[in-house]
Amino acid sequence: MPDPVNSLKDKVVVIGGGAKNLGGLISRDLAANGARAIVVHYNSDATRASAEDTVAAVKSIGADAFAIQGDLTRVSENKRLFSETKNRFGKVDIAVNTTGMVIKKPILECTEEDYDKIFAINSKAAFFFMQEAGRNLEERGKIVTIVSSLLAAYTDSYAIYPGSKAPIEHFTRAASKEWGSRGISVNAIGPGPMETPFFYGQETRESAIYNQNAAALSRWTKTGLTDIADIAPLVRFLVTDGWWITGQCIFANGGYTTR
Ligand SMILES: NC(=O)c1ccc[n+]([C@@H]2O[C@H](COP(=O)([O-])OP(=O)(O)OC[C@H]3O[C@@H](n4cnc5c(N)ncnc54)[C@H](OP(=O)(O)O)[C@@H]3O)[C@@H](O)[C@H]2O)c1
C-alpha cells in the first residue's frame, strides 16, 4: 500500500521554471504520477507558449493546472507565486525550483553586471523561493532545488555559475533542519550537463563533444549528456517515498563529477 502522506495523491505542486525543458518534464511527470494540481511558473514572455502547452498537457493527464509568470529575483514575485497557488488550490504541498541561468566565462572577463545577474537568479531567487515554500508548505511538505554537478568540477570558466549555485547547498541544509519539526524534507539535485538549449548556449563544439564523453556512463545514453528523463524520476522520488532523505545535495550525472 503506498503511504498517502508521501504519495502524490491530492498534492498541490508549485514548479519554478515549470514550463519547458527539465521543469516542463517534471510538471508532466508529477501530474502523470497522481498530483492533484501543478502550478507552472515561467519567467519570460517567450516562454508563455511553452507554459500554456505544459498546462494543457497536465490537464489532459487529469490534474488541474495554471500558468503564472514572474521574475523570481524579486521577493514579491515569490510571495505572489505561493499566494496565488493557495488562492487557487487552498494549499501547497510540494515546491520544486528549476530556475537558473548560466554564464561561462574566465574570471577576468566577468563583469559586475554578469555577477549581479547570475547571483540574483541562482542564489537570491532560490533563497526566497525556498523561504516562501517554508512559509507556505503544509506539514510533511517537500522542497527540491535544481543545482548543478559543476559544484564538484575542477574546471576553468565556470566560476560564477557553480559559484552562484553553491549557496543553495547551505540553504538546503539550514532549511531542512529548521523545518524538520514540521515534517518537511528539503533537498537539492545536481544534474550533469543536460541535453537542453541551456547547455548548448554556452559551449563550443569542442567543449560540447568533451562533455558528451565525460561521464562514466556517457556511451549508454543517446547523446552522452544527462537526459532530463533521468532527472525527473529522482525529483519524483524525493517528493514522495524518498522523504527520509533531507538536507542533501544529490548528483545525478552518470558519473560526471563526484565528491
Ligand atoms: N542544461 C544543463 O546543462 C544543466 C545542467 C545542470 C543543471 N542545470 C540546471 O537545471 C535547471 C533547468 O535548466 P534547463 O536546462 O531545463 O534550462 P531552462 O529551461 O532554460 O531553465 C532555466 C529556467 O530558469 C528560468 N528563469 C531564468 N531567469 C529567471 C528569473 N529571473 N525568474 C524566474 N525564472 C527565471 C527560465 O525561465 P524563462 O526561460 O522563462 O526566462 C527557465 O525556465 C537550471 O537551474 C540549470 O541551472 C542545467
22 and 108 in a single domain? The answer is yes
152 and 204 in a single domain? The answer is no
246 CB less than 6 Å from ligand 1? no
What are 160-197's pLDDT values in tens digits?
A: 999 999 999 999 999 999 999 999 999 999 999 999 99
145 and 65 in a single domain? The answer is yes
The confidence score (pLDDT) of residue 3 equals: 80
173 and 152 in a single domain? The answer is yes
219 and 166 in a single domain? The answer is no
- Catalytic: which of 20, 104, 124, 165? 165
Asked if residue 7 is part of any domain, the answer here is: no
151 vs 177: CA distance, rounded Å: 22
- Catalytic: which of 149, 164, 176, 185? 149
pLDDT along the chain (259 residues), means of 10: 87 99 99 98 98 98 98 99 98 99 98 98 99 98 98 97 98 98 98 96 95 98 97 98 98 97
- Catalytic: which of 123, 148, 164, 218? 148
38 and 76 in a single domain? The answer is yes
Asked if residue 41 is part of any domain, the answer here is: yes
Into how many domains does the chain fold? 2
- Residue appearing with cell numbers 533537498: 187
Report residue 81 CA to chain centroid gap: 15
Asked if residue 4 is part of any domain, the answer here is: no
Asked if residue 257 is part of any domain, the answer here is: no
239 CB less than 6 Å from ligand 1? no
Residue 164, phi then psi, degrees to nearest 5: -85, -15
- Name the residue at shortest CA distance from atom 26 of ligand 1: 99
* pTM score over 0.85: yes
112 and 133 in a single domain? The answer is yes
93 and 207 in a single domain? The answer is no
- Name the residue at shortest CA distance from atom 7 of ligand 1: 148
97 and 179 in a single domain? The answer is yes
**In contact, 114 and 105? CB cutoff 8 Å:** yes
157 and 210 in a single domain? The answer is no
Asked if residue 180 is part of any domain, the answer here is: yes
Asked if residue 259 is part of any domain, the answer here is: no
Which atom of ligand 1 is nearest to 46's Cα? 40
Asked if residue 256 is part of any domain, the answer here is: no
β 249-252/185-191 pair status:
parallel
β 37-42/64-69 pair status:
parallel
- Name the residue at shortest CA distance from atom 24 of ligand 1: 99
> Which residue range is the domain that position 219 belongs to?
200-227
What are 195-227's pLDDT values in tens digits?
A: 999 999 999 999 999 999 999 999 999 999 999
69 and 18 in a single domain? The answer is yes
Asked if residue 101 is part of any domain, the answer here is: yes
94 and 116 in a single domain? The answer is yes
